Structure 1
Amino acid sequence: MDETIRRVAEKLQQTERILVITGAGLSADSGLPTYRGLGGLYNAVTQEGLPIEEALSGPMLRRDPALCWKYLAELGRACLGAQPNAGHHAIARLQQGKPQCWVLTQNIDGYHRAAGSAAERLIEIHGELSPLYCQSCGALSPDLAAHLQLPLPPLCALCAGVLRPPVVLFEEMLPEPAVDSLYAQLRQGFEVVLTVGTTASFPYIVEPVTRTRLAGGFTVDINPSVTALGRLAEVQIAGRALDVLPELVSHIKFD
């Protein structure tokens, strides 16, 4: 066994309060492109000449829902076209064996839930792509795939209002319940924090790493390349989550 893998596995074995933070790199191992590679959406501007941040914004959804949904549909089709990988399943197994293991994800694809992660210990800080809900009457419409086969934007069957996913668009606030849940857990503290497949510098991603390390906890970054976030961690493991996480979890003996 690689010495670094052994060391991290031993730490996970010995501790209970664990936070796993995941980003787009984890789902990229499922074949889902990271946003900057998704049909080139984030590489420059849209076909309409707009920055993608403007097209996929809350104001655009209100002003021109068809345009916003054109690019929401791209995200939806990509997410529906892939499935959880061994990394997602390894995290779910860790949660099953460690009842105080939490997952904080930036991803909106729902793969953690699909892999079996405990919903009550899963913080989807950017929301998710389904179920859709009506902005006018609040009615739920769970079949995203069916809506993507119809003209856009999708409309409510009850009142003909525009449907939207419970996802955080640009220029929108993070969901308060998710933020409250994260900081409630941070106040309790974590013994180990793993960052997986993320390069984000958002405060709510960086703070758990820095706070845990300052408190004497153990921090690990799993990423194919060294990132600014990874430099904050005590240990860096260069590799794909798809390969690293199953090996890590395989060396943990659960009660």
Structure 2
Amino acid sequence: MVDQALVSQVAAALRHARRILIITGAGLSADSGLPTYRGVGGLYNDKTADGLPIEMALSGPMLRRDPALCWKYIAQLAKACLGAQPNEAHYAIAELQRKKPECWVLTQNVDGYHRAAGSPPERLIEIHGQLAPVYCQSCAAQDPQWTANLDRPLPPLCSRCGGILRPSVVLFEEMLPELALETLHQEMAKGFDAVLSIGTTASFPYIHEPLFRTRVCGGFTAEINLTPTDQSPQMDAFLQCRAVHVMSELVSHI
């Protein structure tokens, strides 16, 4: 049972805030049927069927060294994402962005559900990239029919030059996209009145920093998660529940 006093507290803070940041992780998309794991997407908790840690199988070096093996797991991730849809919490976040024109979303997820739910791309920071578009590593041509490649021999090849295709996802051991980081830093410099973290247990600097800065400047911070995280004790409010059970109610009060 969600603590209604905490729900009212978070709703009031969001209602009075002008600049808001929503941080989302794999726990948000779990309610769409995607399993969670540390890192990209949500399929593995330990080692892959090939006996490798997922961090190694889904890495930039593996894509170069053994593209067929890397694509085996990219394809599993893609099929999982394509087999599900945005859930009620994604739509509630998009509605919040409609109500609050300075509400931003920073997501670790690569499933594209925020876009599909209607979050404006110009206020969406996909810090780990996204599954689409898929492009050729040799000639940079995009493949709009990339989903058909998932049922063909892997790795998928470019129809123009025969090069190996790859998704626009940040794989392990790869750098985060410069534009996404630059946008995040620009918005953090302006400050946020409220930051809401949803479904992430990550301890990356780009998660910690906006929360820390907002707290230091007297802003409101809250977290929605099934289990407490390292950040939970510092939050003004911690809602121990699934986002799908509370986000629509929060937004309805705004």
Fold conserved between structures, TM > 0.5? yes
Give the TM-score of the pair, scaled to structure 2.
0.95
SS at match of 1:166: strand
1:214 to 213, 216, 227: 216
1:148 alignment partner, SS class: helix
* Partner Cα distance (1:151, 1:179) in 2: 35
Contact 1:37/1:43, CA 8 A, preserved across alignment: no
Q: 1:84-127: CA deviations, max 9, x gaps?
A: 00000000000011110000000000000000000000000000
Query: CA offsets per residue over residues 125-180 of structure 1, 9 Å max, x none?
Result: 00011110000000011333211121111111100100000111011000000000
Equivalent pair of 1:76/1:129 in contact (CA under 8 Å): yes
3-state SS, counterpart of residue 19 of structure 1: strand
Q: Does 1:144 align with 2:115?
A: no
What's 1:186 paired with?
Answer: 188
* Normalised TM-score (structure 1): 0.95
From 194, 198, 201, the counterpart of 2:200: 198
Contact kept, 8 Å, 1:193 with 1:209, in 2: the verdict is yes
> Quick one: structure 1 residues 99 and 89, their matched pair in 2 at CA, closer, same or farther if it must change by over 3 Å?
same
What's the CA shift for 1:52? Answer: 1.5
Counterpart-to-counterpart distance in 2, 1:49 and 1:33: 20
2:107 to 105, 108, 114: 105
Aligned residue runs from structure 1 range 65-144, under 5 A: 65-144=67-146
Q: Give the equivalent residue in structure 2 for 1:236.
A: 238
Q: Identify which range, 189-198 or 142-151, moves more after superposition.
A: 142-151
Identity %: 64
Aligned length: 252
3-state SS, counterpart of residue 151 of structure 2: coil
Higher mean C-alpha deviation, range 41-50 or range 169-178: 41-50
Distance 2:177 2:39 in 1: 26
CA deviation after TM superposition for structure 1 residue 41, in Å: 5.3
Of 38, 56, 59, the match for 1:57: 59
Indicate the SS of the match to 2:249: helix
Residue aligning to 1:10: 12
Q: Distance in 1 between matches of 2:109 and 2:83?
A: 15
RMSD: 1.8
Structure 1, gaps ≥5 residues long = none
Map of 1:160 onto structure 2: 162
Does residue 31 (structure 1) correspond to residue 33 (structure 2)? The answer is yes
Runs of 4+ in 1 over 6 A off after TM superposition: none
Conserved 8 A contact 1:92-1:112: yes
Structure 1 residue 232, shift from structure 2 partner: 2.6
Amino acid at match of 2:201: T
Structure 2 Cα separation of the partners of residues 36 and 19 of structure 1? 22
